[in-house]
Amino acid sequence: MTTDSAGRERPVPGYLRDHDVHPPLDYPGYRSTALRHPKRPLQLLPHLLTEVTGPLLGEGRIGELDHDLTRQHAGEPQGQRIIVHGQVRDSDGRPIPHTLVEIWQANAGGRYRHTGDNWPCPLDPNFTGVGRALTDAEGRYRFVTVQPGAYPWKNHDNAWRPAHIHFSLFGRAFTQRLVTQMYFPGDPLFFQDPMWNSIPDDKARERLVCRFDYENTEPEWALAYEWDIVLRGREATPFESEVDDD
Amino acid sequence: MADTRPSPTTPSQTVGPYLHIGLPWPDGPFAVAEGTPEGFWICGTLYDGAGQPIADGLVETWQADPDGRFDHPDDPRGAVPRPGFRGFGRCETDERGEYRIFTVKPGPVPGAGGTVQAPHIDVSVFARGMLHRTVTRVYFPEETEANAADPVLNGVADDRARSTLVAAPAEDGYRFDVRLQGEDETVFFDV
Ligand SMILES: [Fe+2]
């Protein structure tokens, strides 16, 4: 409940709580969670003004080639050129316009341009692996990049991450903030990947997989994948008692 | 519950060990413009359950302006742009697990049912080994009265736990360490 410009009390609807969709913070299969999850129960935070607002970023943050990871260097990167596009919307199906989408990924061989990534796979001098885009008025985004490779890690014996692109999203409110990963259809590495397996519901896992999109493939240029991202929608306008009970 | 909506939501995944190539911005730590006269630093260390600093983490902050308002259409009092004020800060942790955010003090913010919330900053913490973000809040040590009346702080029954939400004064502003586990585990919120 808050007061509007005319001095009336007006309820501010909160956002859907969708915890059942997300992985738990404590997931033994992903070893690094052991020392990095809170052990005390989380304290319920009602969605008040700080939570239903958020940074509306973007204006001036995007360079002309930020969405095209194949054109950020003098030459072209190695690998299969792909278009990754889709819509950002909320769980009521409403598009989220003009919101910042950030991505980062490994190169075609599966190596990140990061000092901590030292596995024996060459860096590509023509690939940084970082992109940014703003959604348009219909909530649509579009990147051009190369198909990232799978890479090994040390979580368990012979552990490999399925090919993926890291995504960071803001939406329109603090509650909608989401960082996630997009995967590719039919990846044979899913079965042994704890990040994939940490998502409790099979259907929810599938929502991290993009769709091969032949219609948007550019002939003699690039394959295409479509991936829609759904952020938490609004709760129905609450009754006052419900706000207080939170 | 989520699945009854037209579009079920997209699950979260960890930022992983290589977030430092994708998420830092050169001006990230500046929630207010560099050189803002009332500006100060909030600095802190992110610790894991063994008391070790977390070098592959990221801290983000979001707050009201000094009048307690937001430049956002969902502030029912109307969006108020304020030059030099972004209200959002982002800082990756360094090899010592440290982050720093340059900001100004937010004003009190209306709460539920006519209550007033003490000045506070919402904080998101991301790291390798965290499958989704955790959320906490920074409160200010000199706001004794406002903090005592704050409905969110009062929702934390344990005194010692509540004190993890209050920053400590420091030479150039405040210190706010975040402990993911342990005796002084930071209070985290279900948002
Ligand atoms: Fe990755």
Whether A73 and A125 have beta carbons less than 8 Å apart is answered as yes
Contacts A3 to B, Cβ<8 Å = 76-77, 110
Q: Could you read off the pLDDT of A144-155 as tens digits, one per residue?
A: 999 999 999 999
Nearest Cα residue in chain A from B180: A38
- The pLDDT tens digits of the residues spanning B57-83 come to 999 999 999 999 999 999 999 998 899
Whole-number Å distance, alpha carbon B100 to ligand 1 midpoint, is 25
Closest residue of chain B to A128, computed from CA coordinates: B21
Chain B residue numbers touching A47 (CB-CB < 8 A): 191
Q: Do B190 and A17 touch (CB under 8 A)?
A: yes
Residue B6, pLDDT > 80, answer: no
Q: Are A42 and B6 within 8 A, CB to CB?
A: no
Structure confidence by residue, pLDDT tens digits, A210-221: 999 999 999 999
pLDDT digits (tens, 9 = 90+) for B9-57: 999 999 999 999 999 999 999 999 999 999 999 999 999 999 999 999 9
* Structural domains in chain B plus CATH codes: 11-179 (2.60.130.10)
CA–CA gap between residue B178 and residue B158 (Å, rounded) = 17
Does B85 have pLDDT greater than 60?
Answer: yes
Q: Which residue has the higher pLDDT, B157 or A11?
A: B157
When CB atoms are compared, the residue of A49, A128, A231 closest to B9 is A231
Instruction: Give, in degrees to the nearest 5, the angle at Cα B153 between B149 and B154.
Output: 65
pLDDT single digits (tens) A55-111? 998 778 899 999 999 999 999 999 999 999 999 999 999 999 999 999 999 999 999
* CB contact (8 A) between residue A54 and residue B62: yes
Evaluate whether A112 touches A129 at the Cβ level (below 8 Å): yes
How many CA atoms are closer than 13 Å to the CA of A1, on its beta-carbon side?
A: 16
**Cα A111 to middle of ligand 1, angstroms:** 9
HSE at residue B54, side-chain half, CA atoms within 13 A, is: 34
The C-alpha of B141 sits at a distance from chain A's nearest C-alpha, in angstroms, of 20
pTM (two decimals): 0.95
Q: Find, in chain B, the residue whose alpha carbon is nearest to that of A105.
A: B22
Q: Which two tokens stand for residue B96?
A: 């010592």
Interface test with A, best of B1, B3, B7, B109 (most A CBs within 10 A): B7
Matching residue, tokens 């990232």: A148
Q: Beta strands of B26-183 (E only): which ranges? A: 40-47, 57-63, 88-92, 98-103, 109-110, 116-117, 120-127, 134-139, 168-170, 173-175, 178-179
**Lookup: tokens for A19:** 């915890």
Taking alpha carbons only, the member of A235, A239, A178, A246 closest to residue A52 is A235
- Who's near B183: CB < 8 A, 6+ residues apart? none
Q: Which of A31, A53, A56, A119 should we substitute to test contact with B (largest number of B Cβ atoms within 10 Å)?
A: A53
Quote the percentage of chain A above a pLDDT of 90: 88
Mean pLDDT over A33-37 rounds to 98
Q: Which domain holds residue A183?
A: 2-245
What's the DSSP call for residue A214? G
Question: Looking at the predicted structure, is the pLDDT value of residue B3 above 70?
Answer: no
A13: closest chain B residue by CA: B74
Helix (H, G, I), strand (E, B) or coil at A15: strand
Q: What is the pLDDT of residue A246?
A: 41
Q: In the prediction, which pLDDT does A12 show?
A: 75
CB-nearest partner of A52 from B5, B14, B74: B74
Is B21 within 8 Å of A168 when comparing Cβ atoms? no
Distance from CA of B169 to the nearest CA of A (A): 23
Q: Do A35 and B5 touch (CB under 8 A)?
A: no
pLDDT at A245 over 90: no
Sequence-distant (6+) residues with CB within 8 A of A66 are A131, A132, A133
CB nearest A55 (choices: B20, B21, B87): B87
Mean pLDDT of A15-24: 95
Question: Tell me, what's the pLDDT at A244?
Answer: 45
Per-residue pLDDT reduced to its tens digit, B90-138: 999 999 999 999 999 999 999 998 899 999 999 999 999 999 999 999 9
pLDDT value for B1: 47
CB contact under 8 Å between B22 and A12, yes or no, is no
Mean pLDDT rounded to a whole number for chain A: 92
Rounded to whole angstroms, the Cα distance separating B90 from B141 reads 22
Q: How far is CA A4 from the centre of its chain?
A: 34
ipTM: 0.96
Provide DSSP, B46-81.
EE-TTS-B-SSEEEEEEE--TTS--SSTTSTT----
Q: In total, how many domains does chain A have? A: 1
In chain B, residues 25-84 whose CB comes closer than 8 Å to chain A? 25, 48-50, 52, 54, 56, 60, 62-64, 70-72, 74-78
Whether A166 is a known active-site residue: answer yes
* Residue A151 appears among annotated catalytic residues: yes
Looking at every residue in chain B, the average pLDDT score rounds to 96
- CB spacing of B8 vs A30 below 8 angstroms: no
Catalytic site residue A164? yes
| The predicted structure's pLDDT at residue A243 | 46
CATH of the domain at A225: 2.60.130.10
Contact check, Cβ <8 Å, A102/B62: no
pLDDT of residue A11: 60
